[in-house]
Amino acid sequence: METFSIFTILVCLLSYFRSTSCAAATFFRRDYDFFCDQGAFYKVHTVPKTWNDARKQCILEGSALAVPNDGAEAEVFRKIMEVKLGAKAVAFLGIQAFSKGIFTTLDGIFIDDIYHNWAPGEPNDAGGTEDCIIMDQLGKLNDENCERKYAFICEKSQDSVMWNDACETSDLEYTRVDNMEHCYKVHLEPKNWTDAYAICVHEQSYLAILNSREESKALIKLFQTKPHRDVRGNFLSGAIHLGFHDRFKDGVFTTIQGQPLAEAGFEKWGGGQPDGPGGETCGSMFYDGELNDVGCNVRCFFICEREAGDGGSALSVRFG
């Protein structure tokens, strides 16, 4: 009886720790699904991209282009592809031949050491251009031209997720500033306005909108703590992209959320600004925090903004 009781306790403890492991940190992003047995989060992107653009998209979301490590994970891929893409689903995987015929994952693992259920006659490097890998709805692999466009899967391992409690995100670079209600992230890789806008969206944020003089000062103060003077390259120094524009009507500047600047709460222009009617249709601010119009194709630093509470709501979602 005693032996049976000890065995029962051990089984219960094992079951508890396994369930606890699955329950802990089961939130990464709202648009990713968690699979306990794989210990990972996945997202199927339905808009086709080239292999390299798919890889970049996953990186922007804080994840990686997915790779099935074994048959069980390949079955997960097959099922989520069917749900999101339909019965004839095909998707890029995070595997490429950097040298002809030598397929490895992005972290250097040879395909022969992981799942490699090739379709009949594959890989065949048809036309000498097939250096990337796709998976079909049957779980079969095929080499394919990296420049063709396919759906793709991004993944994030559970144990790699770090959590920013204050800003309710897995991105640790977001921070609160001077009693502002929202969180911000300064990007020091200059981008044009539309690319900056897209990057913020991929981070589940938005290109920063100024709602007060206090916010303008706070963001400049944050920006000045970053090593922006060390950045070299072809970009406009002295301006930071923000979330406003006059792309709908020349001279009528609104935020990316549709508010006139006055209604948003801040419309202090720099000297002589705006000065680019018809040509400078995107918004920025000078390093003194005053507004400036700028060409949308001009590369600048930029700031993303995200709304967040005190972290409590994120903890409840993250840990169930």
* 246 and 122 both lie in a single domain: no
For residue 206, the domain's CATH number is 3.10.100.10
* 87 and 149 both lie in a single domain: yes
The answer to whether 125 touches 31, Cβ cutoff 8 Å, is: no
* 84 and 129 both lie in a single domain: yes
The reply to whether 237 falls in a domain is: yes
Per-residue pLDDT of the chain (320 residues; tens, 9 = 90+): 454 455 444 434 434 444 445 655 678 999 999 999 999 999 999 999 999 999 999 999 999 999 999 999 999 999 999 999 998 899 999 999 999 999 999 999 999 999 999 999 999 999 999 999 999 999 999 999 999 999 999 999 999 999 999 999 999 999 998 789 999 999 999 999 999 999 999 999 999 999 999 999 999 999 999 999 999 999 999 999 999 999 999 999 999 999 999 999 999 999 999 997 878 999 999 999 999 999 999 999 999 999 985 444 443 344 44
CA distances from 207 to 48, 77, 247, 251, 279 (A): 25, 33, 15, 20, 20
Query: What is the model's pLDDT at position 309?
Result: 58
Query: What is the model's pLDDT at position 311?
Result: 42
* 116 and 40 both lie in a single domain: yes
* 87 and 121 both lie in a single domain: yes
> What residues are paired with 185 via a beta bridge?
304
* 74 and 142 both lie in a single domain: yes
The residue range of the domain holding 30 is: 26-159
* 112 and 189 both lie in a single domain: no
* 53 and 112 both lie in a single domain: yes
Q: How many domains does the chain have?
A: 2
* 251 and 213 both lie in a single domain: yes
DSSP 3-state of 316:
helix
Query: What is the model's pLDDT at position 306?
Result: 96
* 112 and 191 both lie in a single domain: no
Rounded Cα–Cα distance for residues 129 and 315 (Å): 47
Question: Is residue 274 reached through a cis peptide bond, with omega within 30 degrees of 0 on the bond before it?
Answer: yes
Rounded Cα–Cα distance for residues 170 and 28 (Å): 6
Rounded Cα–Cα distance for residues 141 and 79 (Å): 15
> pTM for the whole thing?
0.83
Strands 239-245 and 300-306: parallel
Rounded Cα–Cα distance for residues 76 and 139 (Å): 10
Rounded Cα–Cα distance for residues 76 and 82 (Å): 10
